[in-house]
Amino acid sequence: MHVEPPVRAKEILLHTCCAPCSSAIIECLLENGIRPLIYYFNPNIYPLEEYEIRKAECTRYAQSLGLTIVDGDYDHAGWLREMAGMENEPERGGRCLRCFKLRLMASARYASENGLKVFTTTLASSRWKSLEQINAAGRYAVSPYPDVTFWEQNWRKGGLSERRRQLLQEHQFYNQLYCGCEFSMRGK
């Protein structure tokens, strides 16, 4: 699949939620001559053991490709404070939008502080998430950083969903069964 960032860049920041969601995107970026700096910032993930497993899988994949992965701070208590009052929101509701904003704001800040002009997110590869919310959160996140552009890309298209499934099997990635936060575990 041919992709092109909205601003010419050979390196971009890729906010990454997990190895299964990021693998086909990373492969696609590399095939298009774009090198991703992988930014793992997911304070929503609960419990800590789940966070560590997902981070380890991302790290394993990144290292196998010679890519750099940056581990954002894990502050689940801080994330819970930010989500206070939204615990009973449904999936794809206001809590998810607030969570996306929090994670993508940290990504935009990191990109700006490190001279990266473009960032995108693997959240846009999940069929369980609202692309409208993700894109709105990305646009919101870059608003204080005029030097950074959010790359709105539907990472579900162009065969990437099928390739994701193939890479999951090839690399035997741990494949979680919920988004990450304790509120998304309901009914699982």
Query: pLDDT by residue (tens digit) across 137-152?
Result: 999 999 999 999 999 9
Residue partners of 105: CB distance under 8 A and separation at least 6:
140, 141
Q: Which pLDDT score is estimated for 166?
A: 96
**Confidence label for 126 from pLDDT (cuts 50, 70 and 90):** confident
**pLDDT at residue 29 greater than cutoff 50:** yes
Per-residue confidence at 62, pLDDT binned at 50, 70, 90? very high
pLDDT of residue 185: 85
- 71 has which bridge partners? 40
Q: At what angle do helices 94-113 and 131-142 cross, to 10 degrees?
A: 40
Report the C-alpha gap between 61 and 120 in whole angstroms. 18
Identify the pLDDT of residue 178: 87
Helix/strand/coil for 40:
strand
So what's the pLDDT on residue 188?
46
Average pLDDT over residues 28-39: 97
- 11-185: which CATH number, 3.30.310.50, 3.40.50.620, 3.40.50.720, 3.40.50.1980? 3.40.50.620
The reported pLDDT for the residue numbered 19 is: 96
Q: What is the mean pLDDT of the chain?
A: 95
CA angle, corner 111, sides to 81 and 71, nearest 5? 60
Q: Averaged over 76-91, what is the pLDDT? A: 96
Structural tokens at position 128: 């369980």
pTM: 0.95
How many beta carbons lie within 10 A of that of residue 43, not counting itself?
22
The pLDDT of residue 15 is 98
Q: Which of 54-58, 64-68, 108-112, 158-162 has the lowest mean pLDDT?
A: 158-162
Average confidence (pLDDT) over 64-92? 96
- How many CB atoms sit inside 10 A of residue 81's CB? 9
Local confidence band at 10 (pLDDT 50, 70, 90 cut-offs): confident
In this predicted structure, the answer to whether residue 41 has a pLDDT above a threshold of 70 is yes
Distances in whole angstroms, Cα of residue 2 to Cα of each of 32, 89, 95, 135, 143: 7, 37, 33, 20, 27
127 has pLDDT over 90: no
* 82: nearest Cα among 92, 95, 91: 95
- Is the confidence at residue 187, as pLDDT, over 60? no
Nearby residues of 44 by Cβ (< 8 Å), 6 or more positions away: 76, 79, 99, 103, 179, 180, 181
| Token pair 């193939």 in the structure block, residue | 166
CA gap 17, 179 in Å, rounded: 9
SS3 82: helix
pLDDT at 70 over 90: yes
